[in-house]
Amino acid sequence: MMCSQCPRRCNALRTENENINGFCKMPLLPKVARADLHFWEEPVISGENGSGTVFFSGCSLGCVYCQNEEISHKGKGKIISYRQLADIFRELELKGAHNINLVNPTHYTYAIKKALEIYKPSIPIVYNSGGYDTESQLEMLADYIDIYLMDLKYLNPENALKYSLASDYPEIAKRAIKKAVGLQPEVEIENGIMKKGVIIRHLILPSQTREAMAVFDYVNKNFKNTYFSLMSQYIPIGKALNMPPINRKITDREYNKVFDYICATDFENIFIQERKSADKKYIPDFDLG
C-alpha cells in the first residue's frame, strides 16, 4: 500500500515486509520489540498487575533524545502477523494485565486495527503516542481505544524541528489531543485503575522550563477534564549526548521550578514523576529483536 497514515504524509510504499522511502522505515506488518507486563507507567495505568505493553519498532518522529532509540531509530524488533499481534493481546490479558498498552502506535494504526478485529480484549486499550497523530488515524481506531496516553512535547515549532524533526508538531499534537478528548471526554477510574479517559504527558527537557510551564498552561486552559503527567525521566542518549544544552539531565532547580508552578494552580488531576526516574535502569530490554 502507499502509506500516508501519519502527519509525514510520505506516500511511502509499504509491503508486508518492506518500506520504500518512508520516514518510519517500517513495513505494513507490525514490527514488535517487546511485549510484557510493564510497571513504570502512571499508577492508574500500571496498577499492581502491570500494563500489558506492546512496544512497536520505528517512529514517525525523529526525537534526538529518544530513550527507546534502539527500536525507534535503529529498528530493532521482529516482524509478526496480525494474528500473532492479536495473540499477544490475548496472552497479556491472560497474564492479568490491567490494559493493553500500545506504545508508539502512530505508524501502525492499520495493523493494530487488523489485530483488534481478530481479537478485542475485554480490558481497556491504551493508545500511547508521541502526539504526532492525524485526526483520521485516531478516528480509524475510535471504536477500539479506551484511553489516550499522549505527549505534548512542544508548543515551540523551533524546538520541535530541532529536537524531533517536525516543525509542525505543536499544531498537529494540539489537534490530535483535542480529537482524543472528543473521543473520550470523561475520565473513568475503578479501584484505582483508569478505564477511560485521556492523560497528557510532558517531559521536561534541560533549559526548557518555560516550555514546560507553557505546555501545562495550555492543558490547564483547554483540557481540565484530563489528567496531566509531568515527566522528569530525561536522560541524554544518542545524538543528544553531543547537543548542548540537552546533553545533561535536568537539574533539581529546573524540576522544582516547574513542580512549584504546577502545584500553585487549581488543576486537580496531576501525576508528577520523581527525580529518581531519570535512570537508564528504567529503559526496558527489547527482547523480541
Q: Does 18 reside within a domain?
A: yes
pLDDT tens-digit map of 220-263: 999 999 999 999 999 999 999 999 999 999 999 999 999 999 99
In this structure, what is the dihedral angle of CA atoms 155, 160, 162, 167, given to the nearest 10 degrees? -110
Q: Does 288 reside within a domain?
A: no
pLDDT, position 284? 84
CB-facing half-sphere around the CA of 286: CA atoms within 13 A: 22
Cell (9 digits) for 138 = 485516531
Longest CA–CA separation in the chain, Å: 51
Q: Does 190 reside within a domain?
A: yes
Assess whether pLDDT exceeds 70 at residue 266.
yes
Q: Does 287 reside within a domain?
A: no
Closest CA to 141 of 107, 97, 92: 107
| DSSP secondary structure string for all residues of 11-79 | -EEE-SS-EES-SS---SS-EEEEEEEE--S-HHHHTTT-EEEEEES--SS--TT-TTHHHHTS--SEE
Q: Contacts for 241-249 with beta carbons within 8 Å, 24 or more apart?
A: 243/64, 245/206, 245/207, 246/64, 246/65, 246/163, 246/205, 246/206, 246/207, 247/206, 248/206, 249/206, 249/278
Residue 277's pLDDT band (boundaries 50, 70, 90)?
Answer: confident
Assess whether pLDDT exceeds 80 at residue 129.
yes
Q: Does 42 reside within a domain?
A: yes
pLDDT tens-digit map of 72-95: 999 999 999 999 999 999 999 999
CATH for 269: 3.20.20.70
Phi/psi at 182 (nearest 5 deg)?
Answer: -65, -35
Q: Does 253 reside within a domain?
A: yes
**H or E segment and range at residue 193:** strand 193-203
**78-79/31-38 β-pairing:** antiparallel
CB-facing half-sphere around the CA of 34: CA atoms within 13 A: 19
Closest CA to 201 of 31, 56, 44: 44
DSSP state at residue 251: P
pTM: 0.96
Residue 283's pLDDT band (boundaries 50, 70, 90)?
Answer: confident
Angle at 143 between CA 4 and CA 137, to 5 degrees: 15
pLDDT, position 275? 84
pLDDT tens-digit map of 171-197: 999 999 999 999 999 999 999 999 999
Calpha distance 289→287 (Å, rounded): 6
**Is 58 within 8 Å of 31 (Cβ atoms)?**
yes
Assess whether pLDDT exceeds 80 at residue 289.
no
Number of domains in the chain: 1
Percent of the chain with pLDDT over 70: 100
Contacts of 93 (CB under 8 A, 6+ apart): 52, 100, 121, 122, 123
Q: Does 289 reside within a domain?
A: no
Assess whether pLDDT exceeds 70 at residue 119.
yes
Range(s) of the domain holding residue 276: 2-282
